[in-house]
Amino acid sequence: MKIATSILSAKSFKEKLGVIEKLNSSDTDYIHFDVMDGKFVSNKSLCIPELVKLIKASTKKNEVHLMVENPMKYIEQIKNLNVDRIIVHVEINQALNKIIDYIKSNNINVGLAIDLNTNIDYVKPYLKKIDLLLIMSVKAGKGGQQFQTQVLDKIKKIPDNIKLEFDGGINDETVKFIKFADTAVSGTYILENIEENIRKLKR
């Protein structure tokens, strides 16, 4: 299982930069950037200039999780940076096929995210086009929540060949629920003790 470390719980921009510096020399596989516009979800996190500076500071693989109403605005600004995959939400009121195709046309992997209470059937039309399905195991838009085990029912309808990533409430106890996943996103837990807690999750 790969580990993607979210920097969401680092409060200030300066603190986020400091965390990235530590993660650059850690065993994390990805740095996970949570971008929120205050519209698609109620909280706000990382305006475009901040996101660009933070990605440039990272020497790891980077994934950008866009919890925003208008993802194209962000994609345009980061498509030429060191971004391994961009994750957009199935719930946005946008032409998803067009967005997926555009991300792929820039040689970036595409992840599709589904929120905690969204019916899994909504992602089915896109499964053949995406590289990864991110399943929110908490309600999107806020860090530090508890893992909700009911999300495990969703994967029963997902083909075995689809790479799965879980995001929300993942620590050394809850990671056992998702041992089959390709990637686990963890933020609050890892940032308590970066080296040790990444090791625990990988074990």
Active site residues: 34, 167
Element (H, E) at 76: helix 71-78
Residue with tokens 């929300």: 168
Mention every residue, 6+ apart, whose C-beta is less than 8 A from residue 8. 34, 45, 143, 187, 188
